[in-house]
């Protein structure tokens, strides 16, 4: 009973922290970045460019741009991920509307303001990613592409190249349709924000290796195959105290970690570690 209660409290806490992260991100974008001639990256960056070119309300543009990616995430990546992504995106959009009505001015040099805004944006996005959410459609798109490639080829892929290409297109559009200063300032936002995110999430875009030591691997491996559509490597191992057991190794991406944690909690009696893999050689 206590275990079920703790799970519910942890789940509620994750939604609250995702909401807090979304508010931090929206405050950074509206009150610091845009007034200092910079934009967010990813799909939020696309929405800001559209808003600047058309004069349409920013939160409306964000909602329209985010919607197809959220639907795709909900359908392809699962209901739990989808519900957290929707929560983060909804709070982010509402935060944009709220902070647009609040007068705020950061009286400092553009460079310092943008660097601070990028750090605050990165901190907010780190909270969202850390607790299983997502507000950027480019990450959802990259996740879907990586999963499809993995299913077809049997290989594991990093999201990094896809995210770099996507954001290069966003900054090219900013350079061509807004101005070069905005593009360069926005690139600084990307560098600072992703540095903060990587520090808190240990390179969320990279491949993750999950190593599980257990005496009963069959049910665990079956759940991983069914729910994550991943294969595993199983090796014999020996513990100084536990004696003979099995070591299960599985490769997943960052957005699949929450599902893996659920699988492990439903199969107690194992010891697990997660490490970041920069490259897998075949």
Q: Which residue has the higher pLDDT, 157 or 226?
A: 226
Choosing from 159, 186, 201, the residue where a domain stops is 201
134 shares its domain with 252: no
User: How much is the pLDDT for 241?
Assistant: 79
Q: Which long-range contacts (CB under 8 A, 24 or more apart) does 146-155 make?
A: 146/253, 147/76, 147/77, 147/229, 147/253, 151/229, 154/231, 155/280, 155/282
148 shares its domain with 193: yes
- Dihedral (CA of 53, 56, 61, 64) sign: negative
CA pair distance 257, 208, nearest whole angstrom: 8
How many CB atoms sit inside 10 A of residue 110's CB?
Answer: 15
Q: Rounded to 5 degrees, what are φ and ψ at 187?
A: -65, -35
Choosing from 201, 216, 244, the residue where a domain stops is 201
Host H or E run for residue 98: helix 79-100
CATH (domain of 261): 3.30.70.120
Residue 282 lies in a domain: no
User: How much is the pLDDT for 143?
Assistant: 83
217 shares its domain with 161: no
80 shares its domain with 186: yes
114 shares its domain with 223: no
The residues near 36 (Cβ < 8 Å, ≥ 6 apart) are 106, 110, 113, 114, 117, 185
User: How much is the pLDDT for 106?
Assistant: 77
Give the number of domains in the chain.
Answer: 2
155 shares its domain with 267: no
For residue 267, the SS3 value is coil
User: How much is the pLDDT for 209?
Assistant: 93
Choosing from 168, 201, 234, the residue where a domain stops is 201
The residue assigned the tokens 């009150």 is 31
User: How much is the pLDDT for 3?
Assistant: 65
Residue 93 lies in a domain: yes
**Please, which pLDDT band fits residue 282 given cuts at 50, 70 and 90?**
low
For residue 247, the SS3 value is strand
The residue assigned the tokens 């934009």 is 39
Residue 14 lies in a domain: yes
Task: Please state whether 213 falls in left (phi above 0), alpha (psi between -120 and 50) or beta.
Answer: beta
245 shares its domain with 190: no
Residue 85 lies in a domain: yes
**25-75: per-residue pLDDT in tens?**
999 999 999 998 898 888 999 999 999 999 999 999 999 999 998 888 787
- The residues pairing with 38 across neighbouring beta strands, listed in sequence order, are none
122 shares its domain with 259: no
Residue 98 lies in a domain: yes
75 shares its domain with 211: no
State what percent of residues in the chain have pLDDT above 70: 98
Residue 235 lies in a domain: yes
User: How much is the pLDDT for 115?
Assistant: 92
Which of 1-15, 47-61, 150-164 ranks highest by mean pLDDT? 47-61
Residue 1 has pLDDT above 60, yes or no: no
20 shares its domain with 160: yes
213 shares its domain with 165: no
237 shares its domain with 197: no
Number of continuous H segments (helices) and E segments (strands) in the chain: 10, 4
Domain residue limits at 235 = 207-277
What would the two tokens of residue 14 be? 């994750």
Q: Are the C-beta atoms of 59 and 96 separated by less than 8 Å?
A: yes
Residue 196 has pLDDT above 60, yes or no: yes
């Amino acid at each position: 009973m206590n275990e079920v209660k703790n799970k519910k409290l942890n789940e509620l806490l994750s939604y609250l922290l995702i909401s807090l992260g979304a508010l931090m991100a929206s405050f950074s974008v509206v009150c610091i970045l845009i007034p200092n001639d910079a934009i967010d990256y990813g799909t939020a960056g696309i929405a800001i460019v559209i808003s600047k070119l058309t004069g349409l309300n920013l939160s409306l543009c964000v909602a329209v741009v985010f919607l197809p990616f959220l639907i795709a995430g909900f359908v392809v990546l699962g209901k739990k991920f989808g519900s957290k992504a929707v929560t983060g995106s909804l709070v982010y959009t509402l935060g944009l509307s709220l902070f647009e009505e609040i007068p705020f001015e950061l009286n400092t040099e553009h460079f310092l303001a943008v660097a601070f805004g990028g750090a605050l944006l990165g901190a907010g996005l780190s909270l969202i990613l850390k607790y299983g959410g997502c507000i950027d459609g480019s990450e959802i798109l990259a996740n879907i592409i990586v999963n499809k490639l993995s299913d077809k080829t049997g290989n594991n892929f990093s999201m990094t190249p896809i995210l770099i290409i996507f954001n290069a297109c966003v900054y090219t559009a900013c350079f061509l349709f807004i101005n070069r200063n905005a593009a360069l300032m926005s690139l600084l936002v990307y560098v600072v924000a992703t540095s903060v995110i990587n520090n808190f999430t240990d390179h969320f875009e990279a491949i993750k290796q999950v190593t599980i030591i257990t005496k009963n691997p069959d049910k665990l491996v079956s759940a991983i195959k069914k729910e994550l559509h991943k294969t595993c490597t199983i090796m014999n191992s020996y513990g100084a105290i536990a004696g003979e057991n099995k070591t299960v190794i599985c490769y997943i991406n960052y957005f699949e970690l929450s599902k893996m944690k659920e699988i492990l909690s439903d199969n107690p009696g194992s010891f697990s570690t997660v490490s970041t893999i920069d490259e897998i050689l075949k």
